[in-house]
Amino acid sequence: MIDDGKRLLLGVRIDAVDYEGALHRILAAARAGTSLGVSALAVHGVMTGVLDAQQRWRINNLDLVTPDGQPVRWALNRLYKTGLPDQVHGAVLTAKLLPHLESERIAVYWYGTTPEILARLQAELQRRHPGLVVAGMEPSRFGTATPAELDAIAARITACGAQICFVGLGCPRQETFVAAMRDRLPMPALAVGAAFTYLSGELREPPAWMRRSGLEWAWRLALEPRRLWRRYLLLNPAYLGLLAVQRVTGRTVRPDGRAPSPDEPVPA
- What 3-state class would DSSP assign to 59? helix
The mean pLDDT of 190-201, rounded to a whole number, is 90
- Structure confidence by residue, pLDDT tens digits, 93-113: 999 999 999 999 999 999 999
- Structure confidence by residue, pLDDT tens digits, 123-182: 999 999 999 999 999 999 999 999 999 999 999 999 999 999 999 999 999 999 999 999
For residue 36, with 0-12 CB atoms within 10 Å meaning exposed, 13-18 middle and 19 or more buried, which class applies? buried
User: Dihedral of CA 187/205/193/154: which sign?
Assistant: negative
**pTM, whole model, 2 decimals?**
0.92
Cα gap 139→159, rounded to integer Å = 17
Share of the chain above pLDDT 90, in %: 79
pLDDT at res. 223: 66
What is the band of 237 on the pLDDT scale with cuts at 50, 70, 90?
confident
